[in-house]
Amino acid sequence: MPIQRRKFVAALGAGAVASTAGCSSSDGSGGDGNGNGSGSGDGSDSEPVGVAGETLTLTTTTSTYDTGLLNEIHTDFEEMYGVTVDAVAQGTGAALETARNGDSDIVMVHARGLEDEFMRNGYGINRRDLMFNDFVIVGPENDPAGIKEMGSATEALTAIAEAQAQFVSRGDNSGTHTKELNLWEAAGTEPGGDWYQETGTGMGEALNIANQQGAYTLSDRGTFISQRSEIDLTILVQGPIEDGPEILANPYGVMAVNPGVHENANYDLAMAYIGWITSPEVQESISEYQVNGEQLFFPRAVSEDPDFQQYVPEGWSSDDSDE
Q: What is the pLDDT of residues 95-132, one digit of tens each?
A: 999 999 999 999 999 999 999 999 999 999 999 999 99
Q: How many other C-beta atoms are found inside a 10 Å radius of the C-beta of residue 267?
A: 20
- Given this model, what pLDDT does residue 316 score? 79
Q: How far apart are CA 59 and CA 53, in angstroms?
A: 19
Q: How far apart are CA 250 and CA 1, in angstroms?
A: 19
- Given this model, what pLDDT does residue 37 score? 42
Residue 218: strand, helix, or coil: strand
Helix-then-strand count for the chain, H and E: 11, 12
Tell me if 68 sits within 8 A of 291, measured CB to CB: yes
pLDDT at 308 over 60: yes
- Given this model, what pLDDT does residue 15 score? 39
pLDDT at 320 over 70: no
Q: How far apart are CA 287 and CA 281, in angstroms?
A: 10
When the pLDDT of each residue in the chain is averaged and rounded to a whole number, the result is: 86
- Given this model, what pLDDT does residue 321 score? 52
Residue 319: pLDDT band (50, 70, 90) is low
The crossing angle, in degrees rounded to 10, of helices 175-187 and 112-120 is 110
Residue 41: pLDDT band (50, 70, 90) is very low
Residue 66: pLDDT band (50, 70, 90) is confident
pLDDT at 138 over 50: yes
- Given this model, what pLDDT does residue 69 score? 95
Residue 306: pLDDT band (50, 70, 90) is confident
Q: How many other C-beta atoms are found inside a 10 Å radius of the C-beta of residue 300?
A: 23
**153-177 tens-digit pLDDT:** 999 999 999 999 999 999 998 999 9
pLDDT at 187 over 70: yes
Half-sphere exposure at residue 99, Cβ-oriented, CA atoms within 13 angstroms: 39
The average pLDDT across 122-147 equals 97
Residue 45: pLDDT band (50, 70, 90) is low
**276-302 tens-digit pLDDT:** 999 999 999 999 999 989 999 999 999
Strand partners, 132: 251, 298
pLDDT at 67 over 60: yes
CA distances from 87 to 23, 64, 81, 198, 228 (A): 21, 10, 16, 25, 24
Q: How far apart are CA 276 and CA 299, in angstroms?
A: 13
